[in-house]
Structures are given as C-alpha cells and as structure tokens.
Amino acid sequence: MNILVMKFGGTSLADPEKIQRAAARVARARRRGFAVAAVVSAPGQMTDELLSLARRVARRAPARELDSLMAAGEQISIALLASALSGRGAPSVSLTGAQAGVRARGPHGASEIAGVRPARVLAELARGRVAVVAGFQGVDGKGDLATLGRGGSDLTAAALAAALKAWACEIYTDVKGVYTADPRLVPEARKIGKISFSEMLALAEAGAQVMQPRSISFARSRGVRLHVRSAFHDAEGTWIGPDAAGENGVKALAVERVGVRARVSAVGRGLRPEDAEATRKILRSCGIACRRAELSAFRASCEVDAREAVPALRALHKAWQLGRRAA
Ligand code: ASP
Ligand code: MG
C-alpha cells in the first residue's frame, strides 16, 4: 500500500464548501492510487470558541473536562469530512484519536504521544476506505481523552505518518507554503521550495506559525517527509526533509513579539558570528538598534522595538536578497 497522510487545518475546514474542497482533494489522491489517512483539526476557530464557552460556565474548568470539550471540535470535523467523502462515492470511516490507536501521556492539555497502534487504520486502508482521523487528541493510560497542546493536529499527522510508514505527510493550510518571511509583512517574500527539518524547526520556534514545533522535531526524529501546501491551490508547496543536503546561510526570517519588543530572527544552516554581526550592521544602517542578540547554529536573532519589527524584516530581507535566491 502506498500510504499518504493528508492533514487539514481549521482554516481548510471552516465551512461546508471548504470541507467539500478538502474531500475533493482526498478523493483525488485516492484515485491516483494512494491509501489515504486524513488527519483533521477542528473547523475554523472552534477550539477557541469552546474554550471561551467553558470560561462562561466556570472560572477555572478542570483540565480533564477542558480536554473532553476541546476534543469535540475535531470530532465534528471527522464526521463531516467522512460524510462529504461518502457523498462523493469515496468509502471512508471517521476515527477518534482513541479509535485510531493514538496513545497519550502527560498532563491534560499538553500531553505527548506515547505511541500509535495503527492496526485499525491499516485495516480500514486495506479495505479501500479513507481513514479520517481526529487530530490533537489521544487516549491516556486511564482511558481518558487527552489533548496534545495547541496546534497538536500537526503532531498527530506526523506520528500517524511514521506509524503507517507513509510516503509523505501533507500539511494543507491557508498559505501556499513556507515563505522567506511572512508575505503579509514583507511583500517581496517568496515561497521556499525545500527546507530542512532543523531550519524549519528554528523558524517555527522563532515565531513562524505554519507548523507546531513539536511536530517538526517528531518528523525529524522519525524521518517523516513533510509537505506544507495550500488547501486551495494545486501548486507544490514547501518540502521539509533531511538536514544533510542544502546550502549554508540565511534562508528565511521570522518575527515574534516579546513584551514591548520584537525578536527578529534570521534562520538558516550553519550560521556563524559573522552572520549575527551582519544582522546587527544591516539594522544599524537603517537606524534600528539591536537591543539583544542571540546566535545558535540555525538562528541569529535581534530584539528591536516592536514598532521597528516590520522595517527590520524588510531591511534584512532586502540586504540578503532572500526574494531572489529562494527556490
Ligand atoms: N484544534 C486544535 C487547536 O486549535 C488543534 C489544531 O488545530 O491543530 O489548537
Ligand atoms: Mg495549525
């Protein structure tokens, strides 16, 4: 069986029409010969809405009950996507985290995946059905529902892809891939064709919101190839794969708010003190002070005043010609 994991985020499932589009995509992959396990998030902003509902009935709802509540969002998505697939003549079955064999451990609200027993999913795929699996949830040692931290559907997708030995794990989202910088802030930003796990992890930790950091380190440790792509366009997105290949140097920028300041980070492989110095110099030449600098093998960061964050990003993007060099 050639297995493909297709993960759909909340924005890709926000209304009935989008759910239909996701179903069409899954059905197409199936017609191309893939056995598909689809992993889904809660529709739209539902997880936040459920949390605010809980706050209206109890000032501090018990973490166990919050897990039970939040997991409901993903259960709505599996039932709807499986129904949409059936409507298109693609046999499918919805599975909760527990039914899909996702075992969790650790505190409610921030559990980790202890393991995946993929027998049920494999059996459904072998019968020719699409397995539609609820992301973000598992079952703990007591048999209780446990959630995996915000954005945890990405982790479910990576873990399921590893357990199923999938060909790849596709992450469908509302952007076309991973960019050299957030295109809403830097208009010249370009889509990156390929990036390594460690670069992507550094980018996520530096504030890029595309994928949950834990899911990237999981994929790196298990060698799960990730493909971040748009749910609404057919073009290839960004492939995330082994660290071995690739050029040294700055590849992308990210920004994160830290109180009244912002941390602007340049991410790339093999960064050296010279790269950190260059960052400071470029900013200084535009009159932007670097208040605190940090350097690691994959990231050179500067803290700047929050209102200078966007000019800083634009200046660095231009100076390193990231718009031109990116694939
Ligand atoms: N629905 C959950 C959240 O909003 C999990 C996810 O989207 O991945 O955090
Ligand atoms: Mg997400």
Whichever domain contains 153, its CATH number is 3.40.1160.10
The mean pLDDT of the chain is 96
Listed residues 174, 206, 238: the one ending a domain: 174
The CA 191 to ligand 2 mean position distance, Å, reads 19
Ligand 1 contacts CB of residue 213 (under 6 A): no
Ligand 1 contacts CB of residue 137 (under 6 A): no
Q: Which domain holds residue 36?
A: 3-174
167 and 302 co-located in one domain: no
Could you say which ligand is closest to the alpha carbon of residue 173? 2
Could you say which ligand is closest to the alpha carbon of residue 209? 2
Listed residues 124, 152, 174: the one ending a domain: 174
Q: What pLDDT does 15 receive?
A: 98
Mean pLDDT of 176-203: 96
Residue 291 maps to a domain = yes
Listed residues 119, 154, 174: the one ending a domain: 174
Ligand 1 contacts CB of residue 268 (under 6 A): no
Query: What tokens were used for 73?
Result: 């969002």
pLDDT at 151 > cutoff 50: yes
pLDDT at 43 > cutoff 90: yes
34 and 157 co-located in one domain: yes
Residue 207 maps to a domain = no
Residue with the nearest Cα to atom 8 of ligand 1? 151
Ligand 1 contacts CB of residue 44 (under 6 A): no
pLDDT at 325 > cutoff 60: no
Residue 218 maps to a domain = no
d(CA 211, CA 297): 20
pLDDT at 254 > cutoff 70: yes
Which long-range CB contacts under 8 A does 300-303 form with residues at least 24 apart? 300/250, 300/265, 300/266, 300/271, 300/275, 300/276, 301/206, 301/263, 301/264, 301/265, 301/266, 302/263, 302/264, 302/265, 303/258, 303/261, 303/262, 303/263, 303/264
Residue with the nearest Cα to atom 4 of ligand 1? 47
Q: Which of 41, 75, 216 to mutate to test the pocket of ligand 1 (most atoms within 8 A of CB)?
A: 41
Question: In which band, very low, low, confident or very high, does the pLDDT at 244 lie, cut at 50, 70 and 90?
Answer: confident
Q: What is the number of structural domains in the chain?
A: 2
